[in-house]
Amino acid sequence: MPAPKSLMAPAEKWWRHAVIYQIYPRSFADGNGDGIGDIPGIINRLPHIAGLGIDAIWVSPFYTSPQKDAGYDVADFCDIDPIFGTLADAEKLIDTAHELGLRIIVDIVPNHSSSQHEWFQQALAAPPGSPERARYMFREGRGENAELPPNNWESVFGGSAWTRVTEKDGSAGQWYLHLFDSSQPDFNWENLEVWEFFRGVLRFWLDRGVDGFRVDVAHGLVKLEGLPDAVATDQPAVGNVGPQWNQPGVHEIYRDWRKVLDEYGDDRVMCAEAWVFPLSDMARYVRSDEMDQAFNFAYMATKWDANALRRVIVESLEAFDSVGAPSTWVLSNHDVVRHASRYGIDATTKAQPTGFGPTSAHKPDEVWGLAVARAATTVMLALPGSAYLYQGEELGLPEVIGIPDNKRQDPTFFRTSGERYGRDGCRVPIPWVKDATAFGFNDSGKTWLPQPSSFGPLSRDQQEGTEGSTLELYKKLLALRSSLRLGTGAVEWLPGYGDSIVAFTNCGIAVIANAGDAEVALPDGELLISSAPLSGHSLPPNTTAWVKLAD
């Protein structure tokens, strides 16, 4: 069913300047009290999110799944896992979003399936060389008895990217590739059956009215021919380094998908999750006959450093502009440390942490982190293009550090024997009501990850209507961004500011961000908003302001 009229025929494509809010269903709102968020919970709470002033939601996977990787291990791409609800619930969610004036993007996970997917089960039951095995990446092992994996590739979650199967006769058999957990076998995208299958999945959801797809691991589907060993590197396994990532062949897939989306009109969108650097390489995913957007991870990875910020903004605008695409901007998602904590780590700490836990060497300074996070968001929402928000960032939620080891769920934690804490800390169920069971996440009190007591004062009901709260800051920023049409404008750098200041104009608004350690005078004009209270017309450190310039 098509989107309602009110959503159609915008002067320019809606996604070029949209603010898109990520819902992570497990942790958003739990309708049935089993401790895991679900679709009825989302439907119930969606009006709050629409009230933020966003344009669309992106919903992380809700498909049938054994949940080994929180739903990114899909056993049936065209049905809903009972923990999240039913297909009828999903259809209702799509309709509810549209009635609220929101577009809805769903996740598609084409690099791998769950090992419980019927195709993989058939592959395990079939002999080497069979058409069933040809849908996945099965290979013979190396070594005298094929006891070594076919190559040295590592799983993104730690350990080898290969697992050996036991053949039907009980003998040790072939190996299959999984760039992620062993429960997530990689599809073989050289097999046209896989292409046809995913065209069907796209149409299945488009027929139900979704406005687009966030494409998981978009840079991983095609592997370098021959699957050669990766050259050892001290870089994390995610990225465009190595024969398993960013192969030119992936673009053919998205050109094919573009045609499928275009069967449904000209406003369905695809957004690439492609950890590809530099940005000029990432921009190849959004050429006019491929996808529409790509998550700007280079921007997300940039520290609160004015020179670095200016550089990444320029690079982003140039790279995406060169292919006629808008830039996106993002600071948090379900895979990274929440930005309110990330910015609280001493800027001189080299490594971006892969999660925090009780024994982590560096602990974020949460007061500092939140101040910078608010300032950083105030920069982000003034930039032209499309911005992504992650549930809970509008409450200023920090990463949860104190999750006990025996409650952790991320396969990263287990595959690295606890060396990397992984992503659970950004996935804790979000707080709605301070004085309610599970902070209003449900009414049973069960939560799949424990909520810290520090979530209480950050609950939505405490921030709603509270002057100076992070929630009110987001609402006001979003309202101004929309009324001033900042998403459609252009960045022009303002001269005369020192090295530690990011200063630009967009649509007649000066945006000044102070990443230094001294106050800076604001330009003449009307102060529209600031990420922290100001005294007078000057900007303290770790603060951003928008000023309507005097004529």
Do residues 253 and 221 make contact, with C-beta atoms less than 8 angstroms apart? yes
Contact between 63 and ligand NOJ per CB under 6 A: no
Q: Rule CB under 6 A: which of 392-431 touch ligand NOJ?
A: none
Q: Does 55 bind ligand NOJ (CB under 6 A)?
A: no
Q: What is the dihedral of CA 288, 246, 191, 144, to 10 degrees?
A: 170
462 alpha-carbon distance from chain centroid: 27
Please, what is the minimum distance in Å from the beta carbon of residue 326 to ligand NOJ?
21
State yes or no: residue 69 binds ligand NOJ (CB under 6 A): yes
Residues that bind ligand NOJ (rule: CB under 6 A) add up to a total of 9
Vertex 446: Cα angle to 441 and 447 (nearest 5): 65
CB 216 → ligand NOJ: shortest distance, Å?
A: 5
Exposure string for 117-146, b = 16+ CB within 10 A, e = fewer: bebbeebbebeeeeebbbbbbbbebeeeeb
Name beta bridge partners: 80: 63
Shortest Å, Cβ 268 to ligand NOJ: 21
Q: Is 250 in the site for ligand NOJ (CB under 6 A)?
A: no
Greatest CA separation for the chain: 82
72 touches ligand NOJ by CB under 6 A: yes
Pair 274, 285: CB distance under 8 Å: yes
Q: Minimal distance in Å, beta carbon 96 to ligand NOJ?
A: 24
Nearer to ligand NOJ, 3 or 294 (CB): 294
Rule CB under 6 A: choose which of 28, 119, 180, 257 binds ligand NOJ.
180
Q: Which two tokens stand for residue 479?
A: 């309202």
**Cβ distance 395 to 459 under 8 Å?**
yes
Indicate the residue whose CB is closest to ligand NOJ. 72
The catalytic position among 69, 216, 394, 410 is: 216
CA angle 532, 430, 338 (to 5 degrees): 55
133 touches 139 (CB < 8 A): no
Binding status of residue 77 toward ligand NOJ by CB under 6 A:
no
Q: Residue 322 in contact with residue 353, Cβ under 8 Å?
A: no
38/335 with CB nearer ligand NOJ: 335
Q: Which of residues 278-337 bind ligand NOJ (CB under 6 A)?
A: 334-335
Residue 177 or 217 having the CB closest to ligand NOJ? 217
Closest C-alpha among 86, 38, 35, 74 to residue 59: 38
For the question of residue 216 being annotated catalytic, the response is yes
Nearer CB in complex with ligand NOJ: 69/211: 69
Q: Select which of 12, 190, 263, 405 is catalytic.
A: 263
Tell me, what amino acid is at 176?
A: Y
Q: Which two tokens stand for residue 478?
A: 């979003």
Q: Within 104-238, where are the H helices? A: 118-125, 192-207
Burial 494-516 (b: 16+ CB within 10 A, else e): beebeebbbbbbbeebbbbbbbb
216 binds ligand NOJ (CB under 6 A): yes
Task: Give the contacts of 252 (CB within 8 A, at least 6 positions apart).
Answer: none
The residues, any chain, with a CB within 8 Å of residue 385's CB and separated by 6 or more, are: 16, 17, 316, 317, 320, 326, 327, 328, 329, 487
Nearest CA to 448 out of 79, 116, 109, 84 is that of 84
When binding is defined by CB under 6 A, the residue of 46, 54, 75, 109 that contacts ligand NOJ is 109
CB of 107 to ligand NOJ, least distance (A): 8
Integer Cα distance of 96 and 107 in angstroms: 18
We find the least distance from the C-beta atom of residue 347 to ligand NOJ, in angstroms, to be 26
Question: Which one, 91 or 154, has the nearer CB to ligand NOJ?
Answer: 154
Nearer to ligand NOJ, 30 or 273 (CB): 273
By beta-carbon proximity to ligand NOJ, the closer residue of 184 and 543 is 184
- Site mask for ligand NOJ (CB under 6 A), range 259-278, x = bound: --------------x-----
Q: CA-to-CA distance for 286 and 267, rounded, in angstroms? A: 15
Residues 476-535 that bind ligand NOJ (CB under 6 A): none
Nearest 5 degrees, angle CA 28-CA 31-CA 33?
100
Length of the chain: 551
Q: Kindly tell me which of 28 and 546 has the beta carbon lying closer to ligand NOJ.
A: 28
Min. distance of Cβ 295 from ligand NOJ in angstroms? Answer: 9
Buried b (16+ CB within 10 A) or exposed e, 192-221: eebbebbeebbeebbebbbbbbbbbbbbbb
Tell me the closest approach of the beta carbon of residue 59 to ligand NOJ, in angstroms.
13
DSSP assignment letter at 550: -
Answer for the pair 229, 152: CB distance below 8 angstroms, yes or no: yes
Q: Which of residues 331-390 bind ligand NOJ (CB under 6 A)?
A: 334-335
Backbone angles phi, psi at 382, to 5 degrees: -95, -5
Return the number of the residue (290 or 424) whose C-beta is nearest ligand NOJ.
Answer: 424
| Residues with a known catalytic role | 216, 263
- Residues lying near ligand NOJ in the complex (CB under 6 A): 69, 72, 109, 180, 216-217, 273, 334-335
